[in-house]
């Protein structure tokens, strides 16, 4: 079995936004954003880069469903590899590469992480997924996030068996955080305040079938 391990830091926030009006009346209101700076790896590793993952709340599933990855690593082999690992998921249909000026994830201090996506991204979910998921297609506008951690650290672990046969294990050391979110196209010039986590270290291990 082949494995790949990636080390990163970043943040996570669940957003429950007020409904839009006018042309934005049907925009999504409930989503999860997690972002990271992948700085080191072993096994299959395509070099450092910044990553933003987008999850949508799907009422029919009563769950957040991952639907997109935006990343700035220019190595085209990374996209091909991720498409294979994530095959059978909605996320595999939306692996979007931008340049390093369009997506940045930076550590200001150990307790403060900034992420900034400066370009809109169309997120489209097609076959073979259910109409309830395909109906959630939307454009993610430019978004900036500031994570400020506080209180004590905690550890978490998530294990996922992917449809492709790969197994994904994510070990996280994190702290609770306040998160300021700027989405000017949706919320105007003011920021939205939410709760999230400052992910001090994220170790992601991919294990092949």
CATH number at residue 32: 2.40.400
pTM: 0.94
User: What confidence category does residue 191 fall into, taking pLDDT thresholds of 50, 70 and 90?
Assistant: very high
**47-69, pLDDT tens digit by residue?**
899 999 999 998 888 999 999 99
> Domain count of the chain?
1
Residue that has been written with the tokens 């949508």 in this structure: 56
How far is it, in rounded angstroms, from Cα 158 to Cα 170?
5
Q: What is the mean pLDDT of residues 120-129?
A: 93
| Pair 149, 177: CB distance under 8 Å | yes
The token duo for 123 is 């997120």
State the residue range of the domain holding 125. Answer: 3-207
Q: State percent of the chain over pLDDT 70.
A: 100
């Amino acid at each position: 079995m082949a494995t790949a391990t990636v080390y990163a830091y970043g943040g996570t926030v669940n957003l429950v936004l007020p409904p839009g009006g006018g042309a934005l009346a049907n925009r999504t209101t409930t989503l999860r954003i997690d972002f990271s700076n992948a700085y080191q790896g072993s096994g299959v590793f395509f070099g450092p880069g910044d990553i933003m993952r987008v999850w949508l709340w799907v009422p029919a599933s009563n769950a957040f469903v991952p639907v997109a990855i935006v990343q700035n690593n220019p190595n085209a082999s990374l996209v091909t590899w991720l498409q294979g690992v994530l095959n059978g998921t909605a996320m595999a249909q939306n692996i979007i590469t931008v340049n390093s000026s369009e997506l940045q994830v930076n550590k200001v201090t150990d307790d403060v992480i900034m992420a900034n996506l400066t370009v809109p991204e169309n997120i489209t979910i097609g076959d073979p997924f259910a109409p309830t998921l395909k109906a959630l297609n939307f454009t993610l506008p430019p978004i900036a996030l500031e994570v400020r951690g506080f209180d004590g650290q905690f550890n978490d672990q998530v294990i996922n068996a992917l449809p492709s046969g790969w197994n994904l294990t994510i070990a996280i050391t994190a702290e609770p955080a306040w998160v300021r979110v700027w989405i000017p196209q949706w919320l105007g010039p003011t920021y939205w305040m939410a709760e999230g986590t400052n992910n001090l270290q994220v170790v992601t291990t991919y294990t092949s079938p």
